[in-house]
Structures are given as structure tokens and as C-alpha cells.
Amino acid sequence: MILAVCSVLPAQATDRQDSRELRQEVRPEVRDVKQDCRENDQKDNYECRQDKREVKQDIREKARDVKH
């Protein structure tokens, strides 16, 4: 019983780390998209912030898919 639990833990840790790495890799890109949005005056700050939130939510969903 203990061996079965111990074998699952490293897999879960790897999945969590892969998920975290995915979010970390995309973070600078999301920041750049928001800055470009504001600099180009395409939208007001509220709309740029909403766009950033939507992108981050998509990334979170992908990270969850990696974990599960």
C-alpha cells in the first residue's frame, strides 16, 4: 500500500511542475500583449486588462489539463 502511494507522488509532482512551467513561460508574453495594447491605444486600460485576464484564464485551463 505504501509503495503504491509513493509511486504516485513523483508523478503528481512532475505534473504540478510541468503546469507551473507552462504558466511561467507564458507570463512575459501576456505582459507584452497588455503593454502593446496600451501603447498602441487600441483600447482603454480596462479592455486591455480584460484581454489579459482572458488570456491568463486560457493558460490556467491548459495548465490544469497538463496536471490532470
- 44 phi, psi to nearest 5 deg: -80, 170
Distance in angstroms (rounded) separating the CA atoms of residues 63 and 59: 6
Q: What angle do CA 66, 35, 30 make, to 5 degrees?
A: 0
Summarised one tens digit per residue, pLDDT across range 8-65 is 567 788 888 888 888 888 888 888 888 888 888 777 888 888 888 888 888 888 888 8
Per-residue confidence (pLDDT) for residue 1, from 0 to 100: 46
**Nearest one of 35, 36, 26 to 56, comparing CA atoms:** 26
Between helix 2-39 and helix 45-67 the angle, nearest 10°, is 160
pTM of the predicted protein model:
0.58
